[in-house]
Chain A
Amino acid sequence: MKNFLFLLIVFLLNQQDSFALFSQDREIKIYKNIRCLACQGQSLNDSNSDFANDLKKVIKEKLNNNETDQEIYTYLTARYGDWILFDPPVKKSTLLLWFFPVFILVIGIFILYKRTVFEKSKLS
């Protein structure tokens, strides 16, 4: 890559008609939910890495084959584990993740209730 600018300009001038990578809405939503494995904490949507672009192409083809969101996610987790999805799974080991906030909520309401003094309101 001697002079990247030169290369880029050359490519720009040799543009082919390629709207193949026009993404919006549902597609972007899926990309945002998938982690780029070659990056630090970025989603496919936010990453410019080669791995991210390759994976996006694979997913785009699946979308063209009318696969559902869930089918795509299952495909990915079978190969890369739950970690690749940003939305945490709902399974036995993540029960606490979902349950603990509820627990805190209930305890908090209970404590609050016990410490409340129920006085009549006065119009002073």
Chain B
Amino acid sequence: MSARATLRMALVALLLLLLQSTVLLSVRFEGVHPDIVWLLPIMAALLAGPETGAIVGFWSGLAFDLVLPTPFGLSALVGSLLGFSMGVATAAVDRRAVWLRPVAAVVGSVAADMLFAVLGAIFGQQQMVQIDFFSLFLVVAVSSALLVLPVNRLMRWALSAEGNRRSLVSASSAESGRW
């Protein structure tokens, strides 16, 4: 990514981090709040392919890890895996399809939270699998579906520094072929 795109990405990540640790913490259902962090690698993967998705997932995850009480690096690990997998999984799909973003956001966020909990338990944090997964998945799925459009706009702005959107999409298709 160019320096300009990296700077814009950092701004978007900071904005979402602030949103997550202020507004979204007070939006709770059954004690569960939305997890916005996973939308960054998902949108990056849809807009620019698996490699960018993985890079964005790693750095945004690491930024969120700085303020979370869970093991440092866990969000980065899940974010990079999520970004890469989402890019690969949607490589054969028309990325301009209207349904793709909400579906990818819901499926990706739920899968990421599941992976986050399981990996956390493997790394010795047993309490991470002692939660109400039904409420967690419900809240994360609904909030991701609602927040995907504004996050998508922000990510388009951040990644548009790489070139125009059409070239990004075609570059991502070629990139997916290489991966």
A-B interaction:
no
Binding site for A on B (CB under 8 A): none
Binding site for B on A (CB under 8 A): none
